[in-house]
Amino acid sequence: MRTLKRLMVLAVLSFAIVLVAPWALRLWVNWQYRPVVFSPGQDIPAADVAIVFGAGLRWDGRPTSVLHDRVVTAVDLYKNGTVKKLLMSGDNRFDYHNEPGSMRDLALELGVPDEDIVLDYAGRRTYDTCYRAGAIFGVKKAILVTQRFHLDRALYLCNALDVAAIGVAADRRPYRGQPFMNLREVAALTVAWLDIHVLRPQPVLGERNPIEIARIARP
């Protein structure tokens, strides 16, 4: 009987840890990266590259409202000189779903020259985007552009994968399903921790294609 009681207590404690640990991780990551999260209009430290994360497409192939606001925010950073290049990263596994291409089209419409837009067609997950930013595109320092609910995970992953990053929140309106997205991030951040510390998966790679930044020679 004592053994059974001990097993029950152990089971309850294990369940409590599994339940509480993801929320504790979320709070810790939020505290860790809060000082490097900025809003548009603040004095944002400059970087060569802004990484823009995919967020789905509408039925007509145009960016969703979430993705639209990420691109618009990144374009603003480009136009005010905070960044020099935009790395558009998203999923392109299917002919009818080309996130980077749609992001590029919107950036072109907003006046960004094509030569300053770099496309990453294999950014299927946030982990993949951060991994490939360094491994394929040679990014060492970047500004991450995404909504606030996603920034903690993006910052955690990129910095853990040797891309020194700060974040700019692209929240330009209320979003449908926001409570669900906030809750989903708790589980997603736990998966991110496992990817970094346990699983270390390797995303789709390929030939290196470092982003070149034109430097103006000083007189």
More confident position, 49 or 17 = 49
pLDDT of residue 94: 76
pLDDT of residue 80: 95
207 in a structural domain: no
For residues 71 and 182, give the distance between their C-alpha atoms in angstroms, rounded to a whole number: 21
User: For residue 12, is pLDDT > 60?
Assistant: no
Structural domain harbouring 180: 2-199
* Average of per-residue pLDDT across 6-35: 72
For residues 140 and 88, give the distance between their C-alpha atoms in angstroms, rounded to a whole number: 16
pLDDT of residue 95: 73
187 in a structural domain: yes
154 in a structural domain: yes
For residues 137 and 51, give the distance between their C-alpha atoms in angstroms, rounded to a whole number: 11
212 in a structural domain: no
pLDDT of residue 13: 47
213 in a structural domain: no
Instruction: Count structural domains, the chain.
Output: 1
Indicate the pTM of the whole model: 0.89
User: For residue 219, is pLDDT > 70?
Assistant: no
What is the average pLDDT value for the chain, to the nearest integer?
Answer: 89
216 in a structural domain: no
158 in a structural domain: yes
CATH of the domain at 18: 3.40.50.620
25 in a structural domain: yes
